[in-house]
């Protein structure tokens, strides 16, 4: 029965890849700017960013909250992680991400992740004082994600994330909720074949509200009297940047032992297609080399229409290449590990995106 379910899911996933891949277009660039909460498209995690977010099918642990939450089911026991990114170096934007995950039962895992974006200080201006001199304000963006994932068999894993979104300044804010869902399928004699599907950022529209949308003006009545009137403006509601990830990966083991494979040296090749609702679709490819899962080196490439045709055609600051590395050192009798992650994403303009952080697996 289990074998039948595994084969059925494999066929269903393959059919999804072929169907969506056949119907794929160049996304919806004409709708760019119509969605809000675009910070949901920012990956704060160094490992997956290092190979261009191409590991939808093979992401593992707490970091799976971004690409494909199904990978959270691979949490061994307890995982703690902190990440910091210097976003578009020179812009003054910093991103902090913190989270922890805990194994629940034999096959389940629960996780909490918090991402905070600080956009720096901006000069406060008004119509009366367009040159400033009124101090500064700081836009802030915060996402809090609660996730649950479970292994339904030795091959099938699924998960779901509920995310609370908050963004704004001191007197204008918008809040909302989004939903992510994902599934992974792993098969092959050595579990070297990986398929994954992830649906992200699905939720109701958001809208800005607050005192900052009100304006006081002087009104004259028919009797020649004047008085102050506060006018409240209503902002338009906006959609969330929903997207669909379809990924596949394959592990190559370079040496053989008595079992037929020696996992000391591993090379994983991964690919991902991202169907965006409000921007161009992305094709992502990446490769990772792992030595005993202690030292890992990775690189990737993000491709979309016009990205290699110069600044006049490119509609993103990212130019395509990414790279990264991980050192994960085991310690203790329970084979716990402590890891350091780093990644770099190339951009033009600005000085790229540096992401680094630490994690502990207990």
CATH architecture of 33-361: Beta Barrel (2.40)
Q: What is the CA radius of gyration of the chain?
A: 23
Question: Could you read off the pLDDT of 125-151 as tens digits, one per residue?
Answer: 887 888 888 888 889 999 999 999 999
Under the banding of pLDDT at 50, 70 and 90, the label for residue 26 is very low
* More confidently predicted of 24 and 280: 280
* More confidently predicted of 310 and 113: 113
Cα 110 from chain centroid?
Answer: 18
Burial 216-253 (b: 16+ CB within 10 A, else e): eeeeeeeeeeeeeeeeeeeeeebbbbbbbbbbbbebeb
Domain ranges for the chain: 33-361
Q: Do 298 and 291 meet the contact criterion of CB atoms below 8 Å apart? A: no
Poorest-pLDDT segment among 16-20, 98-102, 127-131, 352-356: 16-20
Across the range 73-90, mean pLDDT stands at: 95
* More confidently predicted of 211 and 256: 211
| Residue count (the chain) | 362
Bridging pattern class, strands 136-137 and 282-291: unpaired
Rounded CA-CA distance 93/227 in Å is 43
Question: Could you read off the pLDDT of 191-209 as tens digits, one per residue?
Answer: 899 999 999 999 999 999 9
Poorest-pLDDT segment among 100-104, 209-213, 287-291, 326-330: 209-213
**pLDDT value of position 27:** 55
pTM, 2 dp: 0.87
3-class SS at 292?
Answer: coil
Query: In the structure encoding, which two tokens stand for residue 121, read together?
Result: 């200080």
To the nearest whole percent, how much of the chain has pLDDT over 90?
65
DSSP, residue by residue, 3-28: HHHHHHHHHHHHHHHHHHHHH--S--
Question: Could you read off the pLDDT of 319-362 as tens digits, one per residue?
Answer: 999 999 999 999 988 889 999 999 999 999 999 999 999 999 99
């Amino acid at each position: 029965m289990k074998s039948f379910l595994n084969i059925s899911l494999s066929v269903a996933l393959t059919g999804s890849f072929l169907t969506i891949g056949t119907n794929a277009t160049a996304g919806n660039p004409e709708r760019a700017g119509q969605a809000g909460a675009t910070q949901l498209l920012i990956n704060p995690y160094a490992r997956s960013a290092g190979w261009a977010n191409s590991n939808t099918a093979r992401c593992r642990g707490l970091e799976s909250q971004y690409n494909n939450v199904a990978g959270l089911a691979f949490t061994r026991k307890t995982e703690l992680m902190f990440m910091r990114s210097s976003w578009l170096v020179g812009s003054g934007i910093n991103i902090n991400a913190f989270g922890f995950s805990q194994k629940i039962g034999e096959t389940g895992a629960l996780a909490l992740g918090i991402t905070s974006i600080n956009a720096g200080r901006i000069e406060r201006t008004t119509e009366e004082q367009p040159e400033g001199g009124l101090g500064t304000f700081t836009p802030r963006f915060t996402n809090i994600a609660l996730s649950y994932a479970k292994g339904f068999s030795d091959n099938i894993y699924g998960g779901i994330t509920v995310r609370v979104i908050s963004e704004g300044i001191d007197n204008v804010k918008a809040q909302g909720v989004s939903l992510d869902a994902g599934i992974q399928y792993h098969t092959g004699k050595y579990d070297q074949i990986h398929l994954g599907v992830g649906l992200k950022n699905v939720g109701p529209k958001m809208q800005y509200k607050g005192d900052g949308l009100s304006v006081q003006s002087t009104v004259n009545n028919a009797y020649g009297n004047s008085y102050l009137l506060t006018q409240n403006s209503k902002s338009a509601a906006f959609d969330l940047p929903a997207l669909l990830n379809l990924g596949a990966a394959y592990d190559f083991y370079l040496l053989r032992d008595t079992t037929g494979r020696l996992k000391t040296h591993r090379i994983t090749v991964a690919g991902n297609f991202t169907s965006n609702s409000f921007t161009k679709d992305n094709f992502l490819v990446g490769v990772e080399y792992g030595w005993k899962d202690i030292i890992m080196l990775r690189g990737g490439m993000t491709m979309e229409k016009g990205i290699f045709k110069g600044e006049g055609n490119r509609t993103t600051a990212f130019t395509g290449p990414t790279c990264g590395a991980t050192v994960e050192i085991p310690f203790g009798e329970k084979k716990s590990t402590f890891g350091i992650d780093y990644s770099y994403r190339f951009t033009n303009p600005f000085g790229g995106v540096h992401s680094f952080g630490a994690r502990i697996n207990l």
